[in-house]
């Protein structure tokens, strides 16, 4: 692995490249709903190893802060609802309270994932521990599925065994509190998750939204009970179960994409445009992106003039990596391989050899 250091706009950069020949550039494809930002242009452009660790710690710290704030909000919501459950004996509100408590507890696997993500790479885990977030995402998807199953069971049970509830105004108020708390947490988690590139935190935000839907079911059931229609609660509960399943589908798709190393095609387009703009790059060969936690890694082969010296080809590779780091704000590392363009009248050095037999 060769490296070079240079300055850009007064800021030092450390770039590392892999120049080993052969075209097994990995099977890395990746994904994420990352919005392209130009904020990188107004921040210091440090790409040294220490700076990369600092950025990882910063994003992990933001994720942990989002989890703790969400835990506090949902915990307060669950406590307020529990008081009303004791007063009213509402089974529907009890289920909503359990949902809120379970949603708050999903902070545990995410918190563990963020803490693991701070650990340095080892000789066994050479890419670090960022993929722990993907495992946390799977746990959260399973939690959403369990919530859907619980909501369906509660709705069917209430349909078969209608129950009277008291203190309807308090139940309605608790339902509104539950919905407001969950929706606020959902927006906060989804926004933060997308800003730091954490699919697990986005999935956790979607889970909070499902509990908000459950709270609305409690509100509608309280309204139906006030009107004397006891079947309103189970019917609305079944409808909310269907809505939870839709959210489950979206969350499962996001986590599946991350586990399968999918990336937003717009990221590929941005990377290719930046590489084509590098002086000395004649063509862009194999380009692969992947997410590791909430950071991107890139591997690319660029075609350069075959008459360049090793030092000149290396300089083109440095410029190509520099362009990628500026084009993709979430990129933490890029490995650039420089392939010489075939000289006129000569065979392509990378073309497969033809074997002839007598």
Q: What is the pLDDT of residues 61-73, one digit of tens each?
A: 787 788 888 888 9
Q: What is the pLDDT of residue 289?
A: 95
Q: What is the pLDDT of residue 46?
A: 31
Q: What is the pLDDT of residue 350?
A: 52
- Classified as helix, coil or strand, 10 is coil
Which whole number is the average pLDDT over 117-141? 86
Residue 11 pLDDT exceeds 60: no
Banded model confidence at residue 56, pLDDT cuts 50, 70, 90: very low
21, 51, 284, 289 alpha-carbon torsion, rounded to 10° = 90
- Average pLDDT in the chain: 75
DSSP string, 261-315: T---HHHHHHHHHHHHTSTT--EEEEEEEEEETTEEEEEEEEEE-TTS-HHHHHH
Domain ranges of the chain: 2-31+263-340, 57-259
Hey, what CATH topology would domain 57-259 get?
A: Alpha-lytic protease prodomain-like (1.20.1510)
Strands 331-340 and 295-304: parallel
Which whole number is the average pLDDT over 29-34? 34
Query: Which among 211, 208, 214 is positioned nearest to 236, based on CA atoms?
Result: 214
350 compared with 37, residue with greater pLDDT:
350
Residue 347 pLDDT exceeds 70: no
Q: What is the pLDDT of residues 288-339, one digit of tens each?
A: 999 887 788 999 999 999 999 999 999 999 999 999 999 998 898 899 999 9
Banded model confidence at residue 12, pLDDT cuts 50, 70, 90: very low
Q: What percent of the chain has pLDDT over 70?
A: 78
Q: What is the pLDDT of residue 228?
A: 79
- Let me know if domain 2-31+263-340 sits in CATH 3.30.70.1350: yes
Q: What percent of the chain has pLDDT over 90?
A: 21
Mean pLDDT lowest among 27-41, 88-102, 133-147, 174-188: 27-41
Q: What is the pLDDT of residue 231?
A: 76
57-259 has the same fold as 2-31+263-340: no
Which whole number is the average pLDDT over 43-62? 45
């Amino acid at each position: 692995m060769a490296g070079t250091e240079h300055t850009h706009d007064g800021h030092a950069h450390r770039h590392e490249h892999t120049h080993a020949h052969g075209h097994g550039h990995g099977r890395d494809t990746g994904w994420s709903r990352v919005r392209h930002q130009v904020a990188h242009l107004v921040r210091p452009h440090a790409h040294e190893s220490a700076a990369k660790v600092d950025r990882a710690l910063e994003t992990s710290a933001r994720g942990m802060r989002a989890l703790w704030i969400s835990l506090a909000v949902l915990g307060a919501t669950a406590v307020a609802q529990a008081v009303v459950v004791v007063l009213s004996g509402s089974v529907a509100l009890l289920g909503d309270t359990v949902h809120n408590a379970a949603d708050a507890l999903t902070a545990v696997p995410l918190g563990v994932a963020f803490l693991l993500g701070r650990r340095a790479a080892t000789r066994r885990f050479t890419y670090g521990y960022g993929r722990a977030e993907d495992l946390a995402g799977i746990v959260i998807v399973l939690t959403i599925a369990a919530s859907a199953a619980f909501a369906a069971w509660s709705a069917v049970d209430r349909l078969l065994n209608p129950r009277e509830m008291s203190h309807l105004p308090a139940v309605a108020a608790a339902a509104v509190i539950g919905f407001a708390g969950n929706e606020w947490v959902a927006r906060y988690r989804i926004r933060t998750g997308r800003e730091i590139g954490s699919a697990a935190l986005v999935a956790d935000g979607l889970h909070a939204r499902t509990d908000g839907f459950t709270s609305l079911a409690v509100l509608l059931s309280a309204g139906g009970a006030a009107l004397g229609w006891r079947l309103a609660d189970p019917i609305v509960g079944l409808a909310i179960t269907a809505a939870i399943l839709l959210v489950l589908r979206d969350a499962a798709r996001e986590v599946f994409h991350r586990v399968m190393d999918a990336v937003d095609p717009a990221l590929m387009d941005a990377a290719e445009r930046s590489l084509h703009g590098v002086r000395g790059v004649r063509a862009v060969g194999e380009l692969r992106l992947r997410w590791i936690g909430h950071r991107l890694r890139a591997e690319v082969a660029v075609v350069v003039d075959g008459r360049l010296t090793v030092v000149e080809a290396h300089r083109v590779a440095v410029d190509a990596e520099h362009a990628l780091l500026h084009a993709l704000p979430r990129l933490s590392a890029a490995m650039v391989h420089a392939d010489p363009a075939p000289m006129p009248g000569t065979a392509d050095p990378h073309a497969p050899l033809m074997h002839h037999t007598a």
